[in-house]
Amino acid sequence: MKSLLLSERRLPTPPAGDPAFAPLEDPRMYWPVQRARVAKTVREGAQSLGVPVELCLLDLWKHALPGAAWVERIGLPRRAVELTLGDQLILHVNPNELIRGTSWGGWPHKHRPTSSAFIWDGEWNLRRGDLRQGSRAHFIADIDANRDDLSQSEAFAKYMARLKAGKPWSSHQQGILLDSEARILTFLKVYLSFMDDMAIRGFDSTRGKDMLGVAVTREGRLLKINRGLHRLAIAQHIGLPTVPVVVKAVHRQWWARVTQDTRGRDALTSMCEGLVACTPETASGALDSVA
């Protein structure tokens, strides 16, 4: 009776659901998906409440009102900057040059820049992982090399090992559960379909949950941050000439250099002009080996 009720329960729309994964959505993921939806709603609600305040803070800074120096010192409110500048923060880069990314794994929280700020302090830009050696790049190359028989791929073996161990892979963000060989093969075929679609139609920045995000280092180089690593890996693997990326943050030292102590619209204009010259970082960083 319990299994019957589960099979009849309609799975709510997963937070990061994609129509391509619909055949893999499973009613048994109902509660994990619900929890993910609630968390997303609460997070977005808090963000929406904070946006008017952030816009007011940015206006205070733009008009050099009392407190403007403090607003810049805490990094300028990121969402207000994004709403103000819009497409001016979008750059087009060669994905095969965007090979370095930064992550916070293993770093104490006190050393991580806050996602609510647009100007970042610290040494985050000295830790630059090589995306070509990452799990996403390996996954995409693996399934493409074994597209005629995905059961021979390393990815298939990995998911099957989890299944046999009684711990099938699942995603509460997508509502899917890989609890059979057929589901695993379907999952891998979906990623092949993403690859083939991108090869034909080019990069669709609306396909994923977020645009490809980058941050500008103190030297004025671009490092990959946040989500979209599978899409970037596909673009690199198939050799797309260009992809759009959005600047989510800049290092304070670079900001100071391009804005020359100006504030308000003049500073934002100088910053946007400086972004045009920013190119992807390809060299390793001094803190790459720090865990």
Q: What is the pLDDT, as a whole number, of residue 2?
A: 42
Q: At what angle do helices 181-201 and 154-164 cross, to 10 degrees?
A: 150
Antiparallel, parallel or unpaired: β 176-177 and 170-171: antiparallel
Model pLDDT, residue 207: 75
* Amino acid 1: pLDDT: 40
| pLDDT tens for the chain, residues 1 to 291 | 444 334 445 666 776 768 888 888 888 877 777 787 777 776 767 677 689 999 999 999 999 999 999 999 999 999 999 999 999 999 999 999 999 998 777 777 777 888 899 999 999 999 888 999 999 999 999 999 999 999 999 999 999 999 999 999 998 888 889 999 999 999 999 999 999 999 999 998 877 767 899 999 999 999 999 778 999 999 999 999 999 999 999 999 999 999 998 989 999 999 999 999 999 999 988 887 655
Record the tokens describing residue 286, joined without a space.
């001094």
Q: How many CA atoms lie within 13 A of 121 on its CB side?
A: 7
Using a cut of 0.85, tell me whether the model's pTM lies above it.
Answer: yes
For residue 281, the model assigns a pLDDT of: 96
pLDDT (0 to 100) of residue 5:
39
Q: What is the pLDDT of residue 8?
A: 47
Start-to-end C-alpha separation, the chain: 49
Cβ atoms of 229 and 101 closer than 8 Å: yes
Rounded CA Rg of the chain: 21
What is the spatial distance between Cα 74 and Cα 60, in angstroms, rounded to a whole number?
13
**Cβ atoms of residues 7 and 28 within 8 Å:** no
